[in-house]
Every structure is written in C-alpha cells, then in structure tokens.
Structure 1
Amino acid sequence: MNAAVMGSPVSQTQSMSWGRLWRNAQAWAVTVALHGAVVALLVVGWTLQQPPVSAPSVLKTRLITLPAERAIAPAPQPLPVTQQPPVIEAKPEVKPVPVDPQIQARKLEQAALARKRVAEQQQALEARQVEQQQARLREQQADAQRQQALADQARIAADNARRAQEQAAAADVRHYLPISKEAPDYPQRALDKGIEGDCTVEYSVTPQGKVENPKVVGNCHPMFIRPSLLAAATFRYKPRMVDGQAVSVPSVRNTFHYKIQ
C-alpha cells in the first residue's frame, strides 16, 4: 500500500516568504556595507585619482609642390631632436715665437732675388717672342719677294714669247707673197708734178686667198692712196693651211713704190 504525502499550501507559502526576506536582507546588508566603506574613505581623506592621460601624438607635415612630370611622396618629418649645447674647449694660449732679424732679412733678400729672377725670365720670354715674330715677318717678306720675282720672270717670259710669236708672224707675213697681183696706176697729176713716194697697204687674207679690208698705214701721199687700195684688192694668195684646214691670215702688208723712170 503506497501512501502519498503532500504538503499543505500554507506551509509552502511560509517557506517562500522566508527565502525572499533572507535575500532582501543580504542585499541590504551589502548596500549598507558599501556605503559605510565609502563614508569611511571620505572621512580619512582618501580621494579618487584619475589615471594620467597621455598627451596625444602630434605629426607635423609639410606641403611640397612638385612638377607634374615627376611626383615624389613627401618624406616623413623626423622627430625633433633635442640639441645639446655646444661644448667649447679651451684652447691653450699660443705665445708668439720671437723672430730673428737676421733670418727675417735673409728671407726678404731671397724673396727679392726670386722676384728679380721671375722678371728676368719674363723679359727673356718676351724678347724671344719678339724675335720669333720678326723672323716670321722676314720670312713672309722673303716669300713675297720670291713670289714677286717668279711672277716677274713669268711675265717677262710671256712677253718674250709674245714678241717672238709676233716677230715670227711678221716674218711669216713678209714671206707670205701673192701668187697674182696687178701694179697700181701711176696718178697723172703726180707724174705731171714729178711726185714720187711709197704707200703701204695692210689687209687680211681670207681662207680663199682673197684680200679683205685693205687700209693704208704709215705715211702715204694722198695721190697714191686710191691706186694703192685698188691694186691691193686684185691680189690673190695661196690659202694658209693649219692642221689641214685653210685659215685667214691677218695683218698682211704690201708696199707700193711710186717712182718716175
């Protein structure tokens, strides 16, 4: 036979009220203890100190403007360095060394000799330069004289050659005789007056051997000019051949002699 024992509602209600009261009593006790502790600390002069606040770090920057072609990142600003005051070392006092007058005089004499030697060397150098310039000038003058002499010799040789050619040409012209000619008519008035004389006619011979552009040269009596030109126009020459070709011969002369027999 089993028996079930159940508590009454009154007993349960009493147990619950006693537990709540016990917890409330504990909470009040803790609160009173804390307040008492705070009051005690205030009485003995204890104060709450706030923890030290660290100073915020400050980063200093500098704005640098760079060209557009090449931009460089700004370098980080170094932290300021505390400079130590310079340490000044005491230098030992240097006493001047006494100078011997004889040594000083000898040094001055040596310096004067050195300056004199330098001046002499400078004068010698300038004299050599002047001598070299004069030598170059004399050489240039000698070259100019040699060139002038060569030019004179060349001119004289050219003149001699030209005169020789002219003489040869004149001799050749003198020997260049016509193959046919007619004697001029003696003017009747000259015969009546008994006038005599010579008349020289100069002309060119064409490649065909004919006379061209006759003219009287030198002294010629006016009565003998016309018959002399007419007679020269009738002359015929053998053509002059040069390298297989007929050429004209200039300055051919012929002298007509007018004499009464």
Structure 2
Amino acid sequence: AYNKTMIEAAGVALPEDNMTWDELVAYGTELKASLPEGVAPFVDNSTNQANYLSYFYRQEGTPLWTSDDGGTSYATVESAAKWLQMWADMRAEGLIPDADTTYTYTEDGPDSSALVAGDAAIGLVWSNQVAAYQAAMTDELGMTTLPAGGEPSYAIQMSQYLGISNASENKEAAALFVNFFVTSPEAGAILQTNRGVPSSPVVRQAISAEATPIDAEVYRIYDAVADRTIPQDPNLPNDQEFVNELELIGQAVAYGQSSVDQAAADLQALIEQLAVK
C-alpha cells in the first residue's frame, strides 16, 4: 500500500502495477527527491516477516520450502545475499528508514507502522488489513502490486479455513453453512474483504458495485496479478522460530554488526537447520 496523498503532494506519479524490483527501486529514488525531509520512500520490509522474502526466493527459482518429496527447500545463499544486499543498498541510499526508525515499529498492524506514522510512503500490507490501515490514517491510501519478474510467485493466500468435524452429528447443516459463507452474495456483502478477497467470482461480482474505495482497490490488485499466481507454498517447518531469527539477522545487518555475506550465510544455515529440526 502507498500513501496516495503524500505522493501526490510530492508531485510524483503514483506507482504502477507490476513494476520490476529494479523499476521499484528507481521509482523510490525519484520519489525520495520530492518527499519531505525525514520521510523514506519505503518501509523496511526486508526481514520483519518471512512472506516477502519467500516471494522473492520463489521469483529467483529457489523456493524457501515446498511440498516436494514430503518437504524440500531449494533456498540458496545466493538468493539470500541478493535479497539482503538490495535492502542494504536501499538503506545506504536513504530509500528506507535508518535502523533506529525501522525498529521503532513492529510492522504487524496499523498500530505500529512506519506507513501509518508518516515515516515512509510505501509499505507491505496484507490485502485484508488495508481497510484497517486506512481507518488509522487521515491521508488516503492506494494499492499497487508486489514487484514482478522472474518465476511466477504470487500466491492468493487463504486467510480462513472452514472445516467440519468428522464426528459432527450435523454434517449436512454444517456443509450448508460453509456453502453459504463462501458462495452467498449476502454473506459476501457482510464480510466484504475483512476475511480477504472472496474466493467466489459470483460473490466478487455481486458486491463489487458497492465496494468501498479501498475494497475496490483490493479487487483491482487481485485482477492485476491473476495471470501470475501459483498455489500457496507451505511454511518452512518451525516457521515462528524462522520469523524470529530472520528479524535478528536483518537487525544485525541494519546496525552494521554483520556483513551481507555473513548474514546470507547465517540465513541459509538457519533454513537448513529448521528444515530438518
């Protein structure tokens, strides 16, 4: 998501969908020259969650974790170094906030976000959280896609699982409810995008005419990436440990306590360790 009000006030064109990583960085360089002092073009989303890194690894043809042969990682130290170096370069060029500013925020919601606070103009936000981010801001938000390029890597991630117990005495009624929840325009009109983009095209079409501006943006993004989506990869085993350690690796680079090469080696070793733990 991006701060549309801020970017328009800077006199810079809004970011386009499906820019490559190089194009996105070049856009950030252009934007930086026109932003207020102390505002960075991008939030530092390098290591504050695993999904963005996993998306990049998949683009590189080195998926972090797959279901192949019961669970296989194709991650390489080269992909780790490329990812970490890109963000280190952006930090050096002032395209992301400095380390102290970055780690002021947890970036796990609008209550602790450099984007919401106005310290950065563009940041990674889950599609079903954009409405909450907008509600926390007076500036208007817009949305753009994740960077394109490389292997297809866009996963339309499930936000909810609805299951019926094998021991249920009311399986038929439960199935009717699940069917209503997923395929009914009436349910879709109530939920909107609070649980993600409706998976049913019938529901999306039925509710799109009355969508809020933010929900309309979510639907537009969904359509913009439809031709490069893939099935969602499973998470790396011991995923929460990976998320925690990944952030520590990123912090070490940001504060100059580790080189990119050392951090890449540490990241690869962590992946290999957790894959068999």
TM-score bin (small chain): under 0.3
Q: Normalising by the residue count of structure 1, what TM-score does the alignment of the two structures yield? A: 0.17
Q: Which has the higher contact order (CA 8 A, sep 6+)?
A: 2
Whose strand proportion is higher, 1 or 2?
Answer: 1
- TM-score scaled to structure 2, two decimals? 0.16
